[in-house]
Structure formats: C-alpha cells, structure tokens
Amino acid sequence: MHIEPGLVDGTKILLSYATAAVSAGLMAKMAVDTIRRDGGVSALAIRSVITTALVFSFFEVLPHHPVGVSEVHLILGSTLFLMFGAGAAAIGLTAGLLLQGLFFAPFDLPQYGMNITTLLVPLWALNALADRIIPAGTPYVKVSYKQALTLSTAYQGGIVAWVAFWALYGQGMSVENLSQVATFGAAYMTVILIEPLVDLAVLAAAKALHTFSRTPVFSARLHNAVT
C-alpha cells in the first residue's frame, strides 16, 4: 500500500498533510477511547509497543511485491485490531511505518502522510463497523468467519480505495494509470483470502491459551463481552 515516490508530487502533496492531520485526530480519538474503556494509559502503552514492533516486522519481513501503482503487503490490520484494540493498532501502524521509513526506506518519507491516511482512515472505519456487526455480548475470540471476512474486506477495501484516490489525484485518468490502479486493486484484494484465516487462527490460539492472553497486554474485549 506504499504510495510510490513521484506518484503525487509538487503542490499536490500538500493535500496529504491535511489528510494526515485528520488521520492523527482519528488515531488520538481511538487512543483516548482505549484509555477510558480498556485498561488506561499503561495498557495502551504496552500494546502500542507490541503493535509497533509487529507492524515494523510485517513491512520488513513478510512478503511484499510491487504491483501497479503500489505494493501488496500483508498488514494484518484487522488482526491487530481484534487482539490489541483500535488505539494500539492505530499507534502501531503509525509508528511502525515511520520506523520503517527512517531506517530502511527514507525515500518513502515524503509520502508518509499519504501512507498514514491510507492505513488509519480504514482502521477507524473498521472500528465503527465492528461495533455494528459484532454483538456486545460476543467477545472477539468468538467472532465468526463471516464477521472476520467482513472486517478484513472493509479494511483492505479501504486501503485499495485510498491508493486509487492518490494515484488518480496525482496522475490523472489516463488509460495507463487506470490500468495500473486496477491491477493493484485486483492483486491487493487477494489479501482478503488470507487475513480472515489469520484472524481466526490467532483468535483460536488466544482462546486456547486464555491463561496467558487474559492480561492487559491484549484488549479486554478479546475475552470479555461489552457491559
């Protein structure tokens, strides 16, 4: 989902600063909600360190391939959300991507605002969607495949939509650009075939190892219904 250097340049890149500011506000809102409802500052801090390390690893270790206007990554955003909550997932995505840019991909830093927007706005939407499709009495370890698929589809679809927006905003509606956007979108949506299975496998492990996963390291909603 990295926006390629040069895809959006000149004065057009100013828009990414505005969308990044909005995204930072959404991240702050999700973080504050975690502090108020899910363990306080210490729990958020612990989870954020873990999610940052995981996101950094996802970008550097897991397979990723350039396709069309961007790259296909297995980000596992819905997995991070289900295990650690929206606040820690948002901070982890923001910090992990920044560390990757600072240490391994400085050429991506000018696109950081676009990339953060592409990751965080769909996460915020995912958080809202989860409240609608997962009943309050259902802990996350009991989510169904259909629910996991819906969450993953929403998140990955949001990423594809934002990448398409940046590509069309930066390079226009030429046939070549539209073809590149379509190629990326088709390739990226294959992630949907993998992520729900990863979600369910991780949640099954958390359920089986409940003695270890019932700690402030993980979201309280992982094992508990909303009261």
pLDDT in tens, 14-61: 999 999 999 999 999 999 999 999 999 999 999 999 999 999 998 888
Please, which pLDDT band fits residue 6 given cuts at 50, 70 and 90? confident
Q: Would you give the distance in Å from CA 97 to the centre of its chain?
A: 11
Distances (CA, A) of 83 to 6, 48, 61, 79, 221: 36, 12, 20, 6, 8
pTM of the entire predicted model = 0.94
pLDDT tens-place string over residues 92-126: 999 999 999 999 889 889 999 999 999 999 999 99
Q: What is the pLDDT of residue 11?
A: 93
Q: How many CB atoms lie within 10 A of CB 204?
A: 11
How many alpha carbons lie under 13 Å from residue 47 in its C-beta half-sphere?
A: 29
Please, which pLDDT band fits residue 227 given cuts at 50, 70 and 90? low
Tokens standing for residue 204 = 């099954």
Q: What is the pLDDT of residue 62?
A: 82
Q: What is the pLDDT of residue 50?
A: 97
Does residue 211 carry a pLDDT above 90?
A: no
Does residue 5 carry a pLDDT above 70?
A: yes
Tokens standing for residue 208 = 């089986």
DSSP H stretches of helix in the chain: 14-37, 40-60, 77-84, 86-103, 112-133, 145-171, 175-188, 195-208, 210-213
Q: Do strands 70-72 and 65-67 pair parallel, antiparallel, or not at all (unpaired)?
A: antiparallel
CA distance 191 to 92: 20
**If you write DSSP's letter for every residue of 58-102 in order, what string do you get?**
HHHTS--EEETTEEE----HHHHHHHH-HHHHHHHHHHHHHHHHH
- With 0-12 / 13-18 / 19 or more C-beta atoms within 10 angstroms meaning exposed / middle / buried, residue 145 is exposed
All structural domains of the chain? 10-222 (1.10.1760.20)
| Residue whose structure tokens are 């954020």 | 48
**171 contact partners, CB below 8 Å, separation of at least 6:** 7, 69, 177
If you average pLDDT over residues 198-215, what whole number do you get?
Answer: 87
If you average pLDDT over residues 185-189, what whole number do you get?
Answer: 84
Q: What is the pLDDT of residue 181?
A: 93
Q: Cβ distance 63 to 55 under 8 Å?
A: no
Does residue 200 carry a pLDDT above 70?
A: yes
